[in-house]
């Protein structure tokens, strides 16, 4: 972690236990890949749902 970077980390959701937030912070580069995939998957699912609704 870069000097001063810790003060700029976002606060985890209050729904997430501190242990999970801390673990996620330790895996930052890998988490970015997971987040990118999750966002793309969510967009795909939303598009799929919208197309199904439009077909009805």
Domain boundaries, the chain: 16-55
Q: Is 32 helix (H, G, I), strand (E, B) or coil?
A: helix
Q: Record the tokens describing residue 54, joined without a space.
A: 């439009």
Residue 15: per-residue pLDDT: 83
* Contact yes or no for 17/9 (Cβ under 8 A): no
Structure tokens at 33: 């890949």
Alpha-carbon torsion 6, 9, 13, 16, what sign?
A: negative
**Contact between 20 and 12 (Cβ < 8 Å):** yes
pLDDT score of 49: 95
Q: Give the pLDDT score at 14.
A: 75
Q: In this structure, what token pair is assigned to residue 40? A: 């793309």
pLDDT tens for each residue of the chain, 56 residues long:
445 555 566 665 678 888 988 887 788 888 889 889 999 999 999 999 999 999 98
**Predicted TM-score of the model (pTM):** 0.52
């Amino acid at each position: 972690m870069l000097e001063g970077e810790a003060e700029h980390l976002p606060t985890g959701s209050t729904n997430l236990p501190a242990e999970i937030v801390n673990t996620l912070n330790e895996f930052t580069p890998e988490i970015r890949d997971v987040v990118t995939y999750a966002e793309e998957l969510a967009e795909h699912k939303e598009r799929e749902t919208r197309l199904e609704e439009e077909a009805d």
